[in-house]
Amino acid sequence: MTTPDSPPSPARRPPSPLLPPPLPPHLRHQNQQHHHLQQQQEEDQRQEQSQNLLDHRQDQAHQHPQQDHQRQPVRKQQQQRRRPPPALPPPPPPPLPPAPARLPLLPPPRRTNPIVWCIAVFCLILAVVIVISAVFTLVLFLAIRPRLPSIDIPSATLDSLYLDSPNLLNGDLTLVLNISNANHRIDIRFELLVVELYLGGTMVATQMIEPFRAYKEGWRAGSLHFLTSQVGLGSAEVALVGQMVQTERIRYGVRTTFRTRAGLGPIHLSYWLRGWCTLIVSGPTNGVLVSRSCHTKR
């Protein structure tokens, strides 16, 4: 029973039907002592078994020393197997990035086409043949020593020469051109022959000659008729012509240009030949050749 002045007691919970009821204190103490004795007995038994096993192994070791020595490597192997594996070395550093590739200065060599080789061999043979032919021709001509053809004007006739109006020249001149071949073994063919007539420094007439052949120690002569009509002259040349007409000594210049081809059997040599002749003719009409001077060069 509770009085009005006393505090109310806490309400007791009913025991749980799942948990066993608590033991009294004296029974709990007995149980703890019994459990401690059991643990001590088990520990003594383990120590006794360990001591017996150790004594037994020592007896076997004294009785069978060879077997013990044989077992030692096995034990070492077992111990080595039980040891943890050695630590792996640290991984190598990552490789550096490759350097940028440099372009080659020269292209890679290529296999030459057989056609190119054939063309090269043909060109080489052709070059050798040309060089040998040139050397042979040079030696042959040096041994023979060919002479240059000679040009001469043995005759000239001046029919007329006068000035029409202040500076227009008119004239009529006929001359004989002689070309000779002084070589004893070489024939010469003359091609592209051009003959030009000059009075003072002005060309007043020109003639073309048909190609012809001059045989060994042969010559060829031809008559050329130069007709000058209305050719303009400068004041200095007009004065020079008037002076020459008064003195009856007319100075003409004759330039010859032609291409020659010298042959010795199958070998031929072509070159250009130039000649120059200076003529002095008496005054018109019926002027004749007074003097001449000719020379020829290559």
pLDDT of residue 38: 76
pLDDT of residue 251: 92
pLDDT of residue 23: 58
Same domain, 183 and 275: yes
CA dihedral 108→111→117→118, nearest 10 degrees, is -140
Which of these, 227, 76, 68, lies nearest to 159 by C-alpha position?
227
Instruction: Answer whether residue 128 is part of any domain.
Output: no
Which of these, 255, 202, 206, lies nearest to 233 by C-alpha position?
202
Same domain, 62 and 154: no
Contact 205, 197 (CB under 8 A): yes
Same domain, 284 and 158: yes
**What's the CATH code of the domain at 288?**
2.60.40
Same domain, 42 and 172: no
- 118: CB partners within 8 A, 6+ apart: none
- 161: CB partners within 8 A, 6+ apart: 169, 170, 171, 172, 173, 241, 245, 250, 283, 284, 287
Same domain, 57 and 183: no
Same domain, 171 and 293: yes
pLDDT of residue 48: 78
Report the number of distinct structural domains present in the chain.
2
Instruction: Give the amino acid at 165.
Output: S
Residue identified by tokens 């091609």 is: 191
Instruction: Answer whether residue 174 is part of any domain.
Output: yes
Instruction: Answer whether residue 75 is part of any domain.
Output: no
Residues facing residue 173 across a β-bridge: 158, 226
Pairing of strands 267-282, 219-232: unpaired
Kindly report the backbone phi and psi dihedral angles of residue 40, in degrees, each rounded to the nearest multiple of 5, phi listed first. -70, -40
Instruction: Give residue 55's domain range.
Output: 33-67
Instruction: Answer whether residue 195 is part of any domain.
Output: yes
pLDDT of residue 221: 83
DSSP letters spanning 232-289: E--HHHHHHHHHHHHHTEEEEEEEEEEEEEEEETTEEEEEEEEEEEEEEEEPSSSEEE
Residues facing residue 172 across a β-bridge: 160, 227
Mean pLDDT for back-to-back runs of 10 residues, the chain (298 residues): 46 51 62 72 78 72 55 60 68 76 71 87 94 83 77 90 85 90 82 88 89 80 88 87 89 91 74 90 87 88
